A and B are shown apart, each in its own frame.
Chain A
Amino acid sequence: MTVRSFTRRLAGASFAALALMGLSCGPASAADLNALVWCDHSDPNLLKPFEDANGIKVNVKEFEGTGAGLAIVEQSQPGDWDVMVIDSIDVRRGVERGLFEPLADDQLPVADLFPEVKMDQFTVVDGKRYGITEKFGYNTIGFNKSKVDAKDMESLAALTDEKYKGRIAIYDYYLPVMGLAAMAIGKKTAELTEADLPAIKDVLLKMKANSKAVTDVVASQTALATGEVDILVGGGEWVTAGIAKENPDLDFSVPKEGAVLWSQSLAMFKDSQNKDMALKFIQYIMSPEGQARLATSSCYWGMPASTKAALTDEQKKTLRFAEQPDFLKRAQGYPAPSEDLDKKMQDVWTEMIQAQ
């Protein structure tokens, strides 16, 4: 190990230490399943049936952001973790680091997935599948239909319209919101280059001028639910569906310009000591029952990747299941920028937040 890599690891360890302390027992033992996940996988309603059926404990460690997740992995011992939830577009980042185990297509219900969310361009590397899409949804316009004109929400232009000044919050994640800004000016999210950034920045600044806050996941939900704002840029079913019963006026639209498709995947670690159980876990999550429970997790709802998810009619209605073919037709994938462009996009986002 070079001095440079050692110091990088040590610095990373300093940042990751607090996060790791959250898992007080550490990855418990090889007999357990250790999962590095997003908050929707921590729902006991999702995990308990699997734990009961297999007589195993699933230890979950939540993280936000691929960078933070990969930092936790890098500061752990090989074999500490068995499975990981990761943005579909970032599966390759894990593969490049040699973290993931190939998954056999014939052991997974790949054929049941909505074709548009298979994301093979990101989850399959050199002909081998390293991740399977488990859940998806849209970063689009979330709104309170009793407070705004639903027709206005059919265009991204509404987000920069003076009519809604001070009634908007912006979801604090630069990739999807910059994707929406790009769509607003007719750009495709898959074809963004550095040359597009000034025009995207202009749109972002107009959105910021109209907005009341730039909010994280919890604050986004709170802002809409409490009426602090009427519109959430970047919102979607992940904000509105879970609280639809208490707030039936909350809804989302997929505007004529389109929406950004978010998608999360499950991957298995190459160094897992418990690969059989890890595969069983992935199979459970991808089963009709697992898909329904994941889609309606208490942390946030989202569309199941499988068309065969065992959702009730009411749940399907809340998720607008029947409209998915139309939504998917208009949706575009997350921007998947190069390292350099990613940094520049983040800097534009920083400038937008700092703008007064």
Chain B
Amino acid sequence: MSVSTNTRVGWASVTPAVLWTLVFFAVPFMAMAVASLYPKGGDGLSLANYTQFFANPAYWRALTNSLEVTAIVTVVSVLLAYPFAWILAFVVPERWQRLALMLAVLPFWTSYVVRSYSWLLVLAEKGVINTTLVNAGLLAEPVQLANTRGAAVIGFVHFFVMLLTLTIYANLKQLSPNYAKAAADLGASPFQSFIHVILPLTLPGIMVGAFLTFVLAIGDYITPQILGGNNELLMPQLIMMQIGRRGDFASASALSIILMAVVTVAYLACAKWLKIERA
């Protein structure tokens, strides 16, 4: 095959992906970026939508709220998903693993909205948890679980533990058992083997899952809206608020660009672990 044929085949292979990215990402992104520079009701080009964000503590706080919630969700999800994936990969017999994985992803089969409202009913004052605790005499009266940041975190974690479990499980299954055996031969305890050998080798899977969790959680509107009780605003809620009645797409665009910038920073921070090929 000549070089020019190789080149043509190469271009033909990547063209659909490039076109897809251009049409569905680059062009809308550019349009959004330009729109963000023309404030609603303004006279022309202006950075007002961006200065408003940095000047107004209530707007700024939406970003810090988002970062706090997303960080908590990511860490808690990883801490729960890792042992779960470990059990699936090494404790559950091979023949049951497929069924166990299917059961693990069952929550994905239900509507995201329905799942969030279900959690609202579980966490409500007269919900399952409060009723059980009060009837058991552990609580004198119901406590507020729903309509809190904690409720939003629970809703997120319920969803993302499954996602992380899948990515970590896939990583664990790729690991040769010889690594652990070699570590043991060299005198490492099971704990030392895990900390110094297994965990570093599974870090790429953890980081891919954590990054996906971060990106999906920080851009999610449904869960904080339904479970958080709107007692604080996260970035997606603030963006939606600009559109609802006033149709202020310029302001919504600016906030979206800021959110994308945060995701980009997160990507750069994790880029080392997000390579497809294994080092």
Segment at the interface with B among A207-215, A247-255, A274-282, A290-298: A207-215
Contact with B along A225-259 (1 / 0, CB 8 A): 01110000000000000000000000000000000
Task: Find out whether the CB atom of B246 lies under 8 angstroms from the CB atom of A7.
Answer: no
Assess A350 versus B230: contact at CB under 8 Å? Given A67-B246, A67-B248, A339-B40.
no
Q: What CA separation (Å) do A71 and B27 show in the bound complex?
A: 19
A149 within 8 A of B: no
Shortest C-beta distance, A97 to chain B (Å), equals 11
Task: Find out whether the CB atom of A213 lies under 8 angstroms from the CB atom of B248.
Answer: no
Q: What CA separation (Å) do A356 and B28 show in the bound complex?
A: 36
User: Among the listed B31, B56, B230, which residue makes an inter-chain contact with A215, where contact means beta carbons less than 8 Å apart?
Assistant: B230
Contact with A along B43-80 (1 / 0, CB 8 A): 00000000000001111011001000000000000000
User: Among the listed A7, A213, A339, which residue makes an inter-chain contact with B31, where contact means beta carbons less than 8 Å apart?
Assistant: A7
User: Among the listed A66, A172, A219, A354, which residue makes an inter-chain contact with B62, where contact means beta carbons less than 8 Å apart?
Assistant: A354
Q: Which residues of A contact B243 (CB under 8 A)?
A: 15, 65, 67-68, 71
B225 within 8 A of A: yes
Q: Which residues of A contact B57 (CB under 8 A)?
A: 351, 354
Contact with A along B97-131 (1 / 0, CB 8 A): 00000000000000000000100110011100000
A45 within 8 A of B: no
Q: Which residues of B contact A172 (CB under 8 A)?
A: 230
Task: Find out whether the CB atom of A66 lies under 8 angstroms from the CB atom of B247.
Answer: yes
- Of all chain A residues, the one with the shortest Cβ separation from B65 is A354
Task: Find out whether the CB atom of B229 lies under 8 angstroms from the CB atom of A14.
Answer: no
Q: Which residues of A contact B253 (CB under 8 A)?
A: 11
User: Among the listed A4, A70, A226, A353, which residue makes an inter-chain contact with B233, where contact means beta carbons less than 8 Å apart?
Assistant: A353
A216 within 8 A of B: yes
B135 within 8 A of A: no
A347 within 8 A of B: yes
Assess A226 versus B229: contact at CB under 8 Å? Given A66-B245, A212-B144.
no
Q: What CA separation (Å) do A268 and B231 show in the bound complex?
A: 38
* Pair count A-B, CB < 8 A: 128
A111 within 8 A of B: no
Q: Which residues of B contact A64 (CB under 8 A)?
A: 244
- Of all chain A residues, the one with the shortest Cβ separation from B35 is A11
Task: Find out whether the CB atom of A342 lies under 8 angstroms from the CB atom of B146.
Answer: no
Task: Find out whether the CB atom of A350 lies under 8 angstroms from the CB atom of B58.
Answer: yes
Q: What CA separation (Å) do A309 and B192 show in the bound complex?
A: 78
- Of all chain B residues, the one with the shortest Cβ separation from A67 is B247
Task: Find out whether the CB atom of B226 lies under 8 angstroms from the CB atom of A219.
Answer: yes
Task: Find out whether the CB atom of A227 lies under 8 angstroms from the CB atom of B126.
Answer: yes
Q: What CA separation (Å) do A68 and B239 show in the bound complex?
A: 12
Q: Which residues of A contact B265 (CB under 8 A)?
A: none
Q: Which residues of A contact B65 (CB under 8 A)?
A: 354
Q: What CA separation (Å) do A212 and B34 show in the bound complex?
A: 39
Q: Which residues of A contact B225 (CB under 8 A)?
A: 216
Q: Which residues of A contact B180 (CB under 8 A)?
A: none
A222 within 8 A of B: yes
Q: Which residues of A contact B250 (CB under 8 A)?
A: 8, 11
User: Among the listed B31, B229, B252, which residue makes an inter-chain contact with A214, where contact means beta carbons less than 8 Å apart?
Assistant: B229
Task: Find out whether the CB atom of B241 lies under 8 angstroms from the CB atom of A7.
Answer: no
Task: Find out whether the CB atom of A222 lies under 8 angstroms from the CB atom of B120.
Answer: yes
User: Among the listed B28, B36, B56, B124, which residue makes an inter-chain contact with A226, where contact means beta carbons less than 8 Å apart?
Assistant: B124
Task: Find out whether the CB atom of B27 lies under 8 angstroms from the CB atom of A228.
Answer: no
Contact with A along B133-160 (1 / 0, CB 8 A): 0000000000010110000000000000
Interface residues of A in 295-343 (CB under 8 A from B): 339-340, 342-343
Further contacts, 18 of them, CB under 8 A, given A8-B38, A66-B245, A353-B231: A4-B38, A7-B31, A7-B34, A8-B35, A11-B32, A11-B250, A15-B243, A68-B244, A71-B243, A213-B146, A216-B225, A226-B126, A340-B41, A342-B246, A347-B58, A351-B58, A354-B233, A356-B232
Q: Which residues of A contact B (CB under 8 A)?
A: 3-4, 6-8, 10-15, 64-68, 70-71, 166, 172-175, 212-216, 219, 222, 226-228, 339-340, 342-343, 346-347, 350-351, 353-354, 356
